[in-house]
Amino acid sequence: MFTCHRRTRIFTGVKGGDAMRLKIGGPCGISLERTLVRVDKSFKLEVHIDTDEGNACNLQAETPCELIK
């Protein structure tokens, strides 16, 4: 799940309920094809990944990630 503040939404051109592709790099890289966008003034720019998906791709703090509209 991708969360962002309303100002970020305007900058990125996405809106709540949109789906984005999340590409996670590294030796065990994966793509999550329909990552849900949520927008609220209390949110900061973040991507939330469940433990199972994070473990499946060996996600680390330095793992490169890309959100694709």
For the chain, give the mean pLDDT: 86
Note the pTM of the prediction, 2 decimals.
0.77
Q: Which domain holds residue 20?
A: 2-68
Which tens digits make up the pLDDT trace of 4-27?
Answer: 677 776 667 888 899 999 999 999
| Percent of the chain residues past pLDDT 90, beyond the cut | 52
- In the chain, the number of structural domains is 1
Decide: residue 67, CB within 10 A, 0-12 exposed, 13-18 middle, 19+ buried. Answer: middle
Alpha helices, DSSP H, located in 1-69: 6-12, 51-56
pLDDT over 90 (residue 29): yes
